[in-house]
A and B are shown apart, each in its own frame.
Chain A
Amino acid sequence: MTPDRHRSAVITFPNELEVVITREFDAPIALVFDVLRKPEHVSKWGATPPDRMTECSIDLRVGGNYRSSFVTGDGTVFSFSGIYLEVEPPVRTVETWHFNCWPDVEAVETMELQERDGVTTFNWRLVFRDKAGRDHMTGFDGQQDSLDEIEDILRSLLDPSRA
Protein backbone atom coordinates (compact mmCIF):
# COMPACT_ATOMS: atom_id res chain seq x y z
CA MET A 1 0.00 0.00 0.00
CA THR A 2 1.23 3.53 -0.77
CA PRO A 3 2.21 5.44 2.37
CA ASP A 4 -0.09 8.36 2.96
CA ARG A 5 0.93 11.89 2.11
CA HIS A 6 -0.52 13.50 5.20
CA ARG A 7 0.78 16.98 6.06
CA SER A 8 2.35 17.37 2.63
CA ALA A 9 0.39 20.35 1.28
CA VAL A 10 2.60 23.19 0.07
CA ILE A 11 1.12 26.62 0.69
CA THR A 12 2.64 29.69 -0.92
CA PHE A 13 1.85 33.38 -1.27
CA PRO A 14 3.49 34.08 -4.65
CA ASN A 15 2.51 37.75 -4.71
CA GLU A 16 0.30 40.35 -3.04
CA LEU A 17 -2.95 38.96 -4.42
CA GLU A 18 -2.64 35.19 -4.49
CA VAL A 19 -2.63 32.10 -2.33
CA VAL A 20 -1.55 28.82 -3.90
CA ILE A 21 -1.83 25.33 -2.46
CA THR A 22 -0.45 22.17 -4.07
CA ARG A 23 -0.78 18.57 -2.95
CA GLU A 24 -0.42 15.13 -4.53
CA PHE A 25 -2.92 12.28 -4.31
CA ASP A 26 -2.29 8.65 -5.15
CA ALA A 27 -5.41 8.28 -7.27
CA PRO A 28 -6.43 8.70 -10.89
CA ILE A 29 -7.33 12.18 -12.02
CA ALA A 30 -10.96 11.38 -12.86
CA LEU A 31 -11.62 10.07 -9.36
CA VAL A 32 -9.87 13.01 -7.70
CA PHE A 33 -11.92 15.41 -9.79
CA ASP A 34 -15.18 13.72 -8.82
CA VAL A 35 -14.28 13.67 -5.14
CA LEU A 36 -13.52 17.40 -5.25
CA ARG A 37 -16.48 18.47 -7.33
CA LYS A 38 -19.43 16.14 -6.77
CA PRO A 39 -21.64 16.95 -3.80
CA GLU A 40 -22.19 13.29 -2.86
CA HIS A 41 -18.42 12.99 -2.34
CA VAL A 42 -17.78 16.46 -0.92
CA SER A 43 -20.33 15.87 1.82
CA LYS A 44 -18.24 12.87 2.96
CA TRP A 45 -15.08 14.83 3.75
CA GLY A 46 -16.12 18.48 3.70
CA ALA A 47 -16.46 19.54 7.31
CA THR A 48 -13.77 19.55 9.96
CA PRO A 49 -15.32 18.11 13.14
CA PRO A 50 -16.97 19.49 15.19
CA ASP A 51 -18.17 21.58 12.23
CA ARG A 52 -21.01 20.10 10.22
CA MET A 53 -21.89 20.68 6.58
CA THR A 54 -25.47 21.81 6.31
CA GLU A 55 -25.65 22.50 2.58
CA CYS A 56 -23.67 21.41 -0.45
CA SER A 57 -24.94 22.20 -3.92
CA ILE A 58 -22.75 22.18 -7.02
CA ASP A 59 -24.12 22.95 -10.50
CA LEU A 60 -20.97 22.08 -12.38
CA ARG A 61 -21.32 23.95 -15.68
CA VAL A 62 -20.27 27.37 -16.91
CA GLY A 63 -22.61 29.86 -15.27
CA GLY A 64 -23.71 27.29 -12.69
CA ASN A 65 -23.75 28.14 -8.98
CA TYR A 66 -22.22 26.37 -6.05
CA ARG A 67 -22.82 26.88 -2.36
CA SER A 68 -21.75 25.07 0.73
CA SER A 69 -22.63 25.99 4.28
CA PHE A 70 -21.30 24.89 7.62
CA VAL A 71 -22.23 25.24 11.25
CA THR A 72 -19.40 25.25 13.75
CA GLY A 73 -19.38 23.65 17.17
CA ASP A 74 -20.46 26.95 18.76
CA GLY A 75 -23.30 27.47 16.30
CA THR A 76 -21.65 29.95 13.94
CA VAL A 77 -22.78 29.54 10.34
CA PHE A 78 -20.48 30.24 7.43
CA SER A 79 -20.75 29.57 3.74
CA PHE A 80 -18.89 29.72 0.47
CA SER A 81 -20.51 30.34 -2.86
CA GLY A 82 -19.84 31.43 -6.39
CA ILE A 83 -20.37 30.85 -10.09
CA TYR A 84 -18.39 28.56 -12.36
CA LEU A 85 -16.54 30.45 -15.08
CA GLU A 86 -14.73 27.50 -16.68
CA VAL A 87 -15.46 23.80 -16.33
CA GLU A 88 -13.14 21.28 -18.00
CA PRO A 89 -13.42 17.89 -16.29
CA PRO A 90 -11.22 16.34 -15.11
CA VAL A 91 -8.46 18.92 -15.32
CA ARG A 92 -9.72 22.34 -14.42
CA THR A 93 -12.43 24.55 -12.98
CA VAL A 94 -12.43 28.32 -12.50
CA GLU A 95 -15.03 29.97 -10.31
CA THR A 96 -15.81 33.13 -8.41
CA TRP A 97 -15.31 32.83 -4.66
CA HIS A 98 -17.42 34.50 -1.99
CA PHE A 99 -17.11 33.93 1.73
CA ASN A 100 -20.07 35.18 3.74
CA CYS A 101 -17.88 36.55 6.54
CA TRP A 102 -15.97 38.78 4.10
CA PRO A 103 -18.78 40.35 2.04
CA ASP A 104 -16.56 42.97 0.41
CA VAL A 105 -13.94 40.53 -0.79
CA GLU A 106 -13.96 39.36 -4.37
CA ALA A 107 -11.79 36.53 -5.54
CA VAL A 108 -11.49 33.98 -8.32
CA GLU A 109 -10.20 30.52 -7.68
CA THR A 110 -8.74 28.00 -10.08
CA MET A 111 -8.43 24.30 -9.44
CA GLU A 112 -6.19 22.33 -11.75
CA LEU A 113 -5.38 18.63 -11.71
CA GLN A 114 -2.60 16.81 -13.51
CA GLU A 115 -1.92 13.08 -13.49
CA ARG A 116 1.45 11.44 -13.94
CA ASP A 117 2.29 7.79 -13.20
CA GLY A 118 -0.91 7.33 -11.24
CA VAL A 119 -0.28 10.36 -9.03
CA THR A 120 -2.60 13.33 -9.38
CA THR A 121 -1.27 16.77 -8.51
CA PHE A 122 -3.82 19.20 -7.16
CA ASN A 123 -3.12 22.89 -7.68
CA TRP A 124 -5.46 25.41 -6.09
CA ARG A 125 -5.06 29.12 -6.65
CA LEU A 126 -7.11 31.89 -5.07
CA VAL A 127 -6.62 35.32 -6.61
CA PHE A 128 -8.08 38.29 -4.79
CA ARG A 129 -9.38 41.26 -6.74
CA ASP A 130 -7.34 43.68 -4.67
CA LYS A 131 -4.79 43.66 -1.94
CA ALA A 132 -7.39 44.63 0.68
CA GLY A 133 -9.01 41.27 0.01
CA ARG A 134 -5.82 39.29 0.41
CA ASP A 135 -5.05 41.27 3.54
CA HIS A 136 -8.02 39.62 5.18
CA MET A 137 -5.75 36.64 5.34
CA THR A 138 -2.75 38.42 6.77
CA GLY A 139 -4.09 41.40 8.67
CA PHE A 140 -4.38 40.32 12.24
CA ASP A 141 -3.38 42.05 15.39
CA GLY A 142 -1.69 39.29 17.29
CA GLN A 143 -4.41 39.02 19.88
CA GLN A 144 -5.54 35.55 20.82
CA ASP A 145 -9.21 36.21 20.07
CA SER A 146 -8.45 37.31 16.57
CA LEU A 147 -6.06 34.44 16.08
CA ASP A 148 -8.80 32.01 16.98
CA GLU A 149 -11.23 33.81 14.73
CA ILE A 150 -8.81 33.73 11.83
CA GLU A 151 -7.98 30.13 12.49
CA ASP A 152 -11.66 29.30 12.18
CA ILE A 153 -11.88 31.20 8.93
CA LEU A 154 -8.75 29.64 7.53
CA ARG A 155 -9.82 26.20 8.60
CA SER A 156 -12.78 26.63 6.33
CA LEU A 157 -10.91 28.45 3.59
CA LEU A 158 -10.33 25.37 1.59
CA ASP A 159 -13.98 25.13 0.83
CA PRO A 160 -14.92 21.53 0.21
CA SER A 161 -16.87 22.20 -2.95
CA ARG A 162 -13.70 23.63 -4.39
CA ALA A 163 -10.92 22.09 -2.34
Chain B
Amino acid sequence: MVARASTTSDVFNAVGDVHRRAILDVLLTGEKAVGAIVGDVSMSQPQVSRHLRVLGEVGLVKCRAEGRRRLYRLAPEQLQPMQDWVAKYERAINDRLDRIEDYLEVLQRQGDDRDT
Protein backbone atom coordinates (compact mmCIF):
# COMPACT_ATOMS: atom_id res chain seq x y z
CA MET B 1 0.00 0.00 0.00
CA VAL B 2 1.34 3.38 -0.95
CA ALA B 3 1.60 5.86 1.90
CA ARG B 4 -1.57 7.85 2.41
CA ALA B 5 -1.53 11.34 0.96
CA SER B 6 -1.95 14.31 3.24
CA THR B 7 -5.44 15.58 4.05
CA THR B 8 -5.10 18.55 1.77
CA SER B 9 -4.12 16.71 -1.40
CA ASP B 10 -6.76 14.00 -1.57
CA VAL B 11 -10.46 14.45 -2.11
CA PHE B 12 -11.22 11.25 -0.19
CA ASN B 13 -9.49 12.46 2.92
CA ALA B 14 -11.03 15.88 2.49
CA VAL B 15 -14.57 14.51 2.54
CA GLY B 16 -13.68 11.89 5.14
CA ASP B 17 -14.39 14.45 7.84
CA VAL B 18 -17.99 14.78 8.96
CA HIS B 19 -17.64 18.55 9.49
CA ARG B 20 -16.35 19.11 6.00
CA ARG B 21 -19.20 17.05 4.60
CA ALA B 22 -21.62 19.24 6.53
CA ILE B 23 -20.08 22.31 4.93
CA LEU B 24 -20.35 20.76 1.46
CA ASP B 25 -24.01 19.98 2.17
CA VAL B 26 -24.63 23.61 3.05
CA LEU B 27 -22.95 24.75 -0.17
CA LEU B 28 -25.21 22.43 -2.18
CA THR B 29 -27.90 25.07 -1.85
CA GLY B 30 -25.68 27.72 -3.43
CA GLU B 31 -22.83 30.14 -2.98
CA LYS B 32 -22.37 31.40 0.56
CA ALA B 33 -20.16 33.62 2.71
CA VAL B 34 -18.40 32.14 5.74
CA GLY B 35 -20.86 33.80 8.09
CA ALA B 36 -23.81 32.15 6.39
CA ILE B 37 -22.10 28.75 6.52
CA VAL B 38 -21.36 29.19 10.22
CA GLY B 39 -25.05 29.87 10.74
CA ASP B 40 -26.00 26.55 9.15
CA VAL B 41 -23.51 24.24 10.88
CA SER B 42 -22.67 23.88 14.55
CA MET B 43 -19.08 25.07 14.26
CA SER B 44 -17.16 28.21 15.08
CA GLN B 45 -16.04 30.56 12.33
CA PRO B 46 -12.33 29.64 12.72
CA GLN B 47 -13.27 25.96 12.41
CA VAL B 48 -15.32 26.59 9.30
CA SER B 49 -12.52 28.66 7.78
CA ARG B 50 -10.01 25.91 8.44
CA HIS B 51 -12.23 23.29 6.80
CA LEU B 52 -12.92 25.60 3.87
CA ARG B 53 -9.19 25.93 3.34
CA VAL B 54 -8.82 22.12 3.15
CA LEU B 55 -11.77 21.83 0.78
CA GLY B 56 -10.30 24.63 -1.32
CA GLU B 57 -6.92 22.95 -1.58
CA VAL B 58 -8.41 19.80 -3.08
CA GLY B 59 -10.55 21.91 -5.42
CA LEU B 60 -13.93 20.94 -3.99
CA VAL B 61 -14.74 24.51 -3.03
CA LYS B 62 -13.99 27.65 -5.04
CA CYS B 63 -13.81 31.12 -3.60
CA ARG B 64 -14.36 34.55 -5.12
CA ALA B 65 -14.34 38.04 -3.68
CA GLU B 66 -17.37 40.27 -3.94
CA GLY B 67 -16.47 43.62 -2.49
CA ARG B 68 -15.15 42.80 0.95
CA ARG B 69 -16.97 39.49 1.18
CA ARG B 70 -15.49 36.20 0.14
CA LEU B 71 -18.05 33.82 -1.31
CA TYR B 72 -17.61 30.06 -1.37
CA ARG B 73 -19.20 27.67 -3.84
CA LEU B 74 -19.12 23.96 -4.58
CA ALA B 75 -17.02 22.56 -7.42
CA PRO B 76 -18.67 19.12 -7.47
CA GLU B 77 -16.81 17.93 -10.57
CA GLN B 78 -13.86 17.35 -8.23
CA LEU B 79 -15.85 14.49 -6.71
CA GLN B 80 -15.26 12.44 -9.86
CA PRO B 81 -12.54 10.26 -8.26
CA MET B 82 -15.05 9.26 -5.58
CA GLN B 83 -17.69 8.49 -8.13
CA ASP B 84 -15.21 6.34 -10.06
CA TRP B 85 -14.30 4.56 -6.86
CA VAL B 86 -17.90 3.89 -5.88
CA ALA B 87 -18.62 2.68 -9.41
CA LYS B 88 -15.90 0.04 -9.08
CA TYR B 89 -17.30 -0.97 -5.75
CA GLU B 90 -20.83 -1.22 -7.09
CA ARG B 91 -19.69 -3.25 -10.07
CA ALA B 92 -17.91 -5.72 -7.80
CA ILE B 93 -20.86 -6.15 -5.49
CA ASN B 94 -23.31 -6.35 -8.36
CA ASP B 95 -21.19 -9.03 -10.04
CA ARG B 96 -21.54 -11.20 -6.99
CA LEU B 97 -25.24 -10.55 -6.47
CA ASP B 98 -25.92 -11.07 -10.17
CA ARG B 99 -24.26 -14.48 -9.96
CA ILE B 100 -26.55 -15.34 -7.03
CA GLU B 101 -29.55 -14.29 -9.08
CA ASP B 102 -28.48 -16.38 -12.06
CA TYR B 103 -27.85 -19.35 -9.81
CA LEU B 104 -31.26 -18.96 -8.13
CA GLU B 105 -32.87 -18.99 -11.56
CA VAL B 106 -31.07 -22.20 -12.49
CA LEU B 107 -32.20 -23.83 -9.25
CA GLN B 108 -35.79 -22.76 -9.76
CA ARG B 109 -35.80 -23.99 -13.35
CA GLN B 110 -34.50 -27.35 -12.15
CA GLY B 111 -37.26 -27.37 -9.51
CA ASP B 112 -39.89 -26.64 -12.18
CA ASP B 113 -38.51 -29.44 -14.39
CA ARG B 114 -38.85 -31.89 -11.56
CA ASP B 115 -42.42 -30.78 -10.84
CA THR B 116 -43.60 -31.36 -14.40
Contacts and interface: CB of A to CB of B under 8 A. Distances in A.
Interface residues of A, number: 41
B95 interface: yes
Interface stretch (B10-18, B35-43, B68-76): B10-18
Contacts of A157: 92-93
A140 B43 CA distance: 27
A26 B1 CA distance: 40
A139 B98 contact: no
A135 interface: yes
Contacts, number: 107
Interface string A31-43: 1100110000100
Interface in A82-129: 122
B10 A141 contact: yes
Contact of A151 (B3, B13, B92, B100): B92
A78 interface: no
B86 to A, nearest CB: 8
B97 A151 contact: no
A6 B85 contact: no
Given A139-B13, A141-B5, A25 B101 contact: yes
A6 B94 contact: yes
A23 B1 contact: no
Nearest to B84: A147
6 contacts: A11-B93, A16-B18, A27-B104, A32-B104, A35-B107, A141-B2
Interface of A: 4-9, 11, 16, 21, 23, 25-27, 31-32, 35-36, 41, 44-45, 48, 122, 135, 138-143, 145-147, 149-151, 154-155, 157-158, 160, 163
